[in-house]
Amino acid sequence: MNNRITEILGIEYPIIQGPMAWLTNAELVAAVSDAGGLGVLGPNAGQTTVTKSIEETAERMRREIKKTKELTDKPFAVTLIVDYDLSFTSPILQIVIEEGVKAVLINGILDENIFKQLKEHNIKIIFRPQTPSIADAQAAEKMGADIYVATGFDEGGTVPDRVIGTFTVVPMIVDAVQDMPVMAAGGIADVRGVRAAFALGAEGVFAGSRFIPVTESPAAENVKQLIVDSTAEDLLLFRTVPSYYRSLPGKLAKKLVEMDQLGASREEIAQKMNGTRNMKVGMLEGDTEEGYVSVGTGITPIKKIQSVEEVVLELMQDFVEN
């Protein structure tokens, strides 16, 4: 069964794997694409060390793109690291063009020059702002975004500024645009969530946390098992820059909550978090005490570690042609 999402992206099922920092390497991305969805290389894809070099960041992404192309002949996407001065974005954009990547995920910034370059090379644009809004969706459609991802407060990682749930924000955005298909993101981890998203007008789902406890994920095995063993009730929520964050419990996560409760500023809490470096410590290296484990509220129905193919077929069972 095809719809606008599958036709735009040239994929079998209307599902995109969220590009989580450090955790979405070539093996995971290729597995998602081979299973019929769209895999997306995220920041620090395939890496285990930190670099501040713009050139090295770009070349690392080139190597991971090449590796992904060796593993699959199916379409996949790359996250444009959209920083406000575009110093990291521009080199990665050029590599995406040079390597013939079929689609990109743009996080948050509507830049006419970036859109123009992508359109000139027939690269599909998946636009996903941190905080979806009616005005933003209409502006993205006008600028030529191919797909808009409406993310609810249920998601993992850096959550939206507004505390609006996925199943409230999706129909709001669907009703605000004319011809641009909308995908739902945030808290979707089983077929019930997929069906609910489609009932509200979404034409696809965008899932991150669901693709952490899979055999092809580079996440630490103890982290995969922790996600399987946990529910949404276990998650800790705290303020940070730019808005909120949530994590499964650990020494650092509890300290961040304590700092929030004692009135520390968002900037002080963000400094203690140490950005995605402590995500690497927690989720890639498996030190859940000194690092943090960022997941969305949809983890409750995740009951076992599965293969990517099993996850895709489970979520997309209504689209599988028997």
The confidence band for 14, taking pLDDT boundaries of 50, 70 and 90, is very high
The confidence band for 109, taking pLDDT boundaries of 50, 70 and 90, is confident
Instruction: Please answer whether residues 146 and 154 qualify as being in contact, where contact means their C-beta atoms are separated by less than 8 angstroms.
Output: no
Q: Tell me the CATH number of domain 4-217+302-319, given options 2.60.40.420, 3.20.20.70, 3.30.565.10, 1.10.287.3510.
A: 3.20.20.70
The confidence band for 81, taking pLDDT boundaries of 50, 70 and 90, is confident
Domain ranges of the chain: 4-217+302-319, 236-294
Q: Taking residues 210-229, what's their average pLDDT?
A: 98
Helices then strands (H, E): number in the chain?
A: 13, 10
> What does the pLDDT read at residue 322?
66
* DSSP H/E element including 148: strand 147-151
The runs of H, that is alpha helices, within 130-264 are: 134-143, 166-174, 191-199, 221-229, 251-261
Asked whether residue 182 carries a pLDDT value surpassing 70, the answer given is yes
Of 185, 211, 228, nearest to 29 (Cα)? 211
